[in-house]
Chains A and B, each alone.
Chain A
């Protein structure tokens, strides 16, 4: 774990429970996010991966304060922002931005691109040197759009270009951290690569930190320095990219990696077959939440919740009683064997 002084974002015990009511009576809560701890250093990209319902989007929305956490703390640049009020949040919004998944739904169709990208500047009362228009055109150029298209409307752009507009808007205030929620999953394959390359260039050139939320582990591998794998509201494994992809310790991480159909391997690979679906977060399994689908589960897994701890004092943490330790066979195109 990174030392506290150098963390740009520090999250401790972050929790979000959505109450479920039946009529007027409370019937429990969906434990969407259940106690997350992680850090993001300046200029670092952290990937948050997992299947639907694992709480990754809820986490992203809490980070930018679009959702109110149930408990836990979020510290940004040394300040506790967990319950900061609107007014106190405003200066913070400049440093903390979000890019949404759906480039069709996240842009106002009745505003010109110029107005959309200028909005964060106007809202925050910023008048950049040379005027707002000049700054907006610089931003459009930065994300690879024609600055002449300042006066066009979102419908005149393709999906990939719209996502670039969303990125330009997020960059308008020169943020330090961007939360990107599935920024490429709605795009065509050939366009996805364009946008990933753009985000990588921006990250390097502007030294941006990212929390990159995605279900696609191959995309995350090409973008993130560190990766956190989530399952049912908890982080089950977190570590440096190469550790996670080459020496995953948590069985779920292994299963997730082996389930990805890889174009370099022809024919059905010897994948780890997980049975069943993700259980409901309304009533998650006792002990280890993954145990109902885990092929290694023992009695202990049902009674005792595994802590997210390093195995050998390293930077890779896994929440498992019986972690894996061998390398995953990722360097060859051979099918990945189920390791027992």
Chain B
């Protein structure tokens, strides 16, 4: 366990990590993670100094738009980046073990057993040539070499039943194309959970699904979390999904964390203008349907050519309020007032609170 590894807060050269809420240390601890890719067009800093921690039984929602680095972060945690192409630095500790620098063979042993991933598109993540059951049983046998075929089958059928697939014994022998979208996603969750992983990373697990099925899958994930007490990272662009299932939220922009805190803090008392923008641009089922949405101007930045200083400054309504600072200086992730709430913005805290009350809270979306 990676307990008692809390960073003294306020230490200048180390980004802060939110306080832990229980006595138990976080299962996953990521510190100052950087992932770079060398490409013909230049160095892509896909993730540039991100830190977070997830305890067992809790869910961290990582929110961002395309190119924010949210998926690259999760792939780094799973050790899925090609070492020849990606340069990864920082610390990733899973259950007390340091992942970066670990031999490939050992990472592979951890992956699937201690940590598992649910992908967005179950049709491309499942092999079309093998039955669903066989793939789940295989995932079990890889990590339980002494388990026989029969035992693996029993285990797989049991998992299929646990994720709510009717007639699991019959479904075991069917192929992925015989499953509907929601059932495939359930099968993938069964595969991810077959070895009782302590850390589960779900990358846009419901984006390809219909809303009624999405609701089923989100319920399933939280039921399973209660049962297995796994730590979950949920990567999504959908703030609605985050508000329902996450305990903590990390908002990413241009490869960096711009806001981090509990779901209450980030969605109810957001501090970063980018989070404000996300909240007020989401159409809601409440409030005035005829009012215009308030979009964020411009487009998400390219990671090859990030804007100088605060990467969000070309799209920020308030960038001019800091003179040249937003263009020249990268804002550090700092305490935003409440314990555990961090924000990377040059605006003074009082100013942020005033602007939020004046410009954003009025819109009525982010209450």
Contacts and interface: CB of A to CB of B under 8 A. Distances in A.
Interface of A: 51-52, 158-161, 188-194, 196-197, 200, 215-219, 221-222, 241-242, 245, 255-257, 259-269, 271, 273-275, 277-278, 330-331, 333
A266 B244 CA distance: 6
A331 B288 CA distance: 10
Given A51-B211, A266-B244, A277-B180, 16 more contacts: A159-B66, A188-B65, A189-B65, A189-B237, A197-B292, A215-B210, A221-B283, A245-B285, A245-B289, A263-B240, A263-B365, A264-B284, A266-B243, A268-B219, A268-B245, A277-B183
12 contacts: A159-B66, A190-B277, A194-B297, A217-B285, A222-B293, A245-B285, A245-B289, A256-B212, A263-B240, A263-B242, A263-B267, A264-B365
Interface in B226-241: 237-241
B279 interface: yes
B313 to A, nearest CB: 15
B216 A241 contact: no
A265 B295 contact: no
Contact of B211 (A161, A215, A264, A277): A215
A267 B247 CA distance: 9
Given A188-B237, A273-B215, A330 B286 contact: yes
B49 interface: no
A221 B181 CA distance: 26
Contacts of A51: 210-213
Contacts of A241: 289
Interface string B270-284: 000000011101111
Nearest to A217: B285
Contacts of A257: 285
B150 to A, nearest CB: 30
A312 B26 CA distance: 58
Closest 9 CB pairs of A and B: A261-B240, A193-B295, A193-B281, A51-B210, A190-B296, A193-B293, A218-B283, A259-B215, A188-B65
Given A259-B215, A261-B243, A200 B365 contact: no
Contact of B295 (A191, A242, A273, A331): A191
A104 to B, nearest CB: 12
Nearest to A195: B295
Contacts of B239: 189, 263
B259 to A, nearest CB: 15
A257 to B, nearest CB: 7
Given A193-B295, A263-B267, A266-B268, A330 B285 contact: yes
Given A261-B218, A268-B219, A196 B283 contact: yes
A275 B180 CA distance: 13
B286 A222 contact: no
Contact of B289 (A192, A222, A269): A222
Contacts of A160: 299
Contacts of A52: 181, 210
Contact of A263 (B180, B181, B243): B243
B212 A261 contact: no
Nearest to A277: B180
B96 interface: no
Given A188-B65, A193-B293, A158 B299 contact: yes
A217 B215 CA distance: 14
A264 B367 contact: yes
B54 interface: no
A191 B299 contact: yes
Given A197-B295, A221-B289, A260 B211 contact: yes
A241 B285 CA distance: 11
Nearest to B67: A188
Contacts of B219: 268, 273
A121 to B, nearest CB: 28
Contact of A219 (B66, B181, B240, B283): B283
Contacts of A271: 215
B294 interface: yes
A269 B214 contact: no
